[in-house]
Structure formats: structure tokens, C-alpha cells
Amino acid sequence: MIYIRKPGQVSYGESIGIILIDSEAPYIPGDVANATTYDFPVRFQRVPGLTVDRIMNHDISLLDAVRNAAEILKSEGVRAITSDCGFMALYQQELVETLDVPVFLSSLLQIPFMKNLIPKDAKIGVITANKNSLTKEILSLCEGDIPGRIVIEGLEKAPCFSSAFLKEEGTLNTVQVEKEVVQAAKKLQNDYPNMKSILLECSVLPPYASAVQKATGLPVFDFVTMIRYMHSVVVRGQKNGFM
């Protein structure tokens, strides 16, 4: 086999590029921003100035900075680009139009797929970092504003979650955060008995997906399910076996 270099590229083999918001928190295994979450190589690129507060307030003024981060990842050879915040839906369409690689910035992009897996009168539960920030406008950017179908529970008032990820105080109590996330899921299930699936919007929530599924018995989607799916699409492997 003959390989040909790609101009300007000095490393190879990282399939998924991940744009990071400018946030400092303990990102544990299972989190989108922890490389050990994946069984394939990923590449990270931070967007300076794109803080939790600014993304939660839908700051479109950072579009150029986000686009620049995406262009850097593309220049380093990634085959698809995602992010570590569901609210990055704010920049989804602009990047889709300007980058020549698949772009899937928000976990919310899974909602249209989820909708088609369950009955027409069933609900999709969304657990988000901040319910006040998850507006109809943000959902619409991912074709996720489905009238009468989406029910939302936020973690903005959950003490341990808020301390670690919204206030960025530097300490994460995973046992307590898991309890808060499961409590949010159970509240949705109790309030909406016809909820048939759950989406964990926030990129720090995948480590608790198993506990949510155990508590509710429902299919649970998150950022990592989306990233793994996209990796399987852009990096197709040959099957080895026999018959």
C-alpha cells in the first residue's frame, strides 16, 4: 500500500474533532472532554472566550472563533466535527455550510431520530444543564422543537452539578451528581408516564447514563452515543470472520 502525505498535516489517525468550550471542570472518563471515553482517537480544540455563561446566553458573536476552531480540526485531518455542549446548536448550520466535513455540534440533533422510534403520542425527555437556556429557538436549530412531544428537566438548581459545571468551583462529587441526574429523570417519568426515551443534553452527563437507564428502564441517548454513531459512519472497518 502506498500512502501520500496531506499538506500541512503533521499527525494522523484522529477521526473525530471535538470543539471545547472555554471551561475548566473535572472531566471524568465517560465525559465528552475526556479522551479515555473513546475506543478510537479524537482531537480536541478549545474556543478561547466561549465560557459557560456565554454559551448559555446564546452568544452568536463567537461564531468566527468557533469556525476557526473547526477549521483547525479539519486541517489536522479529522473526518467529522462535534462539540462538548448541546447549546453549540447555535453554530450548527453556519458550520455545516462552510466546512467540507460532517458537523454535528449538538446532542439535540438526535431528537428527530428519537421521535421516529416511539409512538406519535409518546414524550421524549430531555435532561439539560440549564432549562431556562434550552429554548424553543435552540431546539428548532436541531429540528427538535416538536409540539407536545418534548419534556425538559434542568439541573441548574442541582447543588453538586451546578457547583462543578455551572459555577466551575473545581470539585466534582460524582456520587451526588449521579443522584441529582437520576432524580431529574425520575421526576420526568413521574410527571409524564408516556415518556418513552431520554436524551441527556449536556456533555458531562454520559457517565450517569447507565444509572438513568437502570432507574427508568428507558432508552437513554447522549453526546457519546451520537459521537460513536458518527465515528462508525465516517470510519468503516472491514469485517474479519468466517462462515
Element (H or E) spanning 19, and its range?
A: strand 16-20
The pLDDT score that the predictor gives to residue 237 is 82
Sign of CA pseudo-dihedral 31, 35, 38, 42: positive
Residue in 100, 68, 56, 73 with CA at minimum distance from that of residue 14: 73
Question: Could you give the CA distance from residue 174 to residue 198 in angstroms, rounded to a whole number?
Answer: 20
Question: Could you give the CA distance from residue 198 to residue 220 in angstroms, rounded to a whole number?
Answer: 5
The pLDDT score that the predictor gives to residue 243 is 87
Quick: pLDDT tens for 117-171.
999 999 999 999 999 999 999 999 999 999 999 999 999 999 999 999 999 999 9
Instruction: Indicate the pairing of strand 123-128 with strand 80-83.
Output: unpaired
The pLDDT score that the predictor gives to residue 163 is 96
Question: Could you give the CA distance from residue 87 to residue 201 in angstroms, rounded to a whole number?
Answer: 9
CATH class of 16-106+227-234: alpha beta
For the chain, the domains span: 16-106+227-234, 107-222
The pLDDT score that the predictor gives to residue 157 is 96
The pLDDT score that the predictor gives to residue 141 is 96
The pLDDT score that the predictor gives to residue 106 is 98
Q: Which three cell numbers stand for residue 225?
A: 452515543
DSSP E strands: which ranges in the chain?
16-20, 42-46, 80-83, 123-128, 150-154, 195-200, 220-221
The amino acid at residue 63 is L
Residue 194 three-state SS: coil
> CA 51 from chain center: how many Å?
16
Task: Please identify which residue in the block is written with the cell numbers 469556525.
Answer: 67
The amino acid at residue 48 is P
* CATH fold of 107-222: Rossmann fold (3.40.50)
Burial 169-200 (b: 16+ CB within 10 A, else e): eeebeeeebbbbbbebbeebbeeeeebbbbbb
Residue segments in the chain with a per-residue pLDDT below the cut of 70? none
